[in-house]
Amino acid sequence: MNDIKYYFEKAKQEKFAVGAFNAANIETLKAIVGAAFELKSPVIIEASAGEVSYIGDKELRALVDVYKERFNIPIFLNLDHSHDIQASFEAIDAGYDLIHFDGGELEFTLNIEQTKQVVEKAHLSNLIVEGEIDHIQGSSDDHRQTDARDMQKLGSYTKPEQALDFVTKTKVDILASFIGNVHGIYKESPILDLELLKQISSIIPYTYLSLHGGSGISAQYITGAIQSGNIVKINVNSELRITFKETLTTEVNNTDEIAVYKFMGPVIDSVKQVVMDKMQLFGSVGKI
């Protein structure tokens, strides 16, 4: 089955989440796909504006298609945190499966207006759109010397009534809300407001919910969000990047080899292990 809506509905009914992992290069892509194939898990490949610029939107679409054909597993491609309508349109035209239009830093009315434009175009191609109304703080940088509470204080927690208003007016398929989740890895896991998540889920029961900042959130909150809050998509980026860099640094510092592909094996394996651990935690193993 190669329909992301099918897997989101399956995830909602069976209480698991599909992992969405950022791929900035061929090595990371290999790691993610390898993990999905080995664990028989559906998977979403994420690409931010920077990653799309680096790889190319059509090039990334072609790479994902090659892996889908080779491994015969459901792999979906998502434009992650797009702040630009035109870039979102280009991803739609390139055949991406999901579009995350992030208007979280826009004035609410303007966010509705722009998100609605993306939804209308995407739905013509039967594509799914994720919207965001409260900017999720942090970044995919290494924040392990920072207290997550300091970053949480910068955000505005999602109001259920506003979430309903936004979803009703834009017709988005997925909502990314802020319940204390922050991008990046911190000294300790951020504390999530799972009761607020339940309220959001209850007021928009037919809208799928995503959880950003999956790298730094402890297992108890991940499980709680899936079981009680109908989270069906969880984003992971920072852990992949940190693992990639740290393993690559070790490999480069311990070899005289100059053929890059010859010392990339351990790097790919280390990233793959992170993805596999997340898939186990999210409950998506064997869901193909």
How many C-beta atoms lie closer than 10 Å to residue 239's C-beta?
20
Amino acid making up residue 165: D
Total length of the chain: 288
- Looking up tokens 């998540």 gives 197
Using CA atoms, how far residue 234 sits from 183, 225, 242, 262, in Å, is: 12, 10, 18, 32
Stretch (H or E) spanning 74: none
CA angle 59/242/51 to nearest 5° reads: 20
Tell me, letter by letter, the H, E, C secondary structure of 48-62.
Answer: CHHHHHHHCHHHHHH
Answer yes or no: 80 catalytic: yes
In the set 57, 65, 80, 256, the catalytic residue is 80
* Residue 136 token pair: 């999720």
Residues annotated catalytic, as ranges = 80
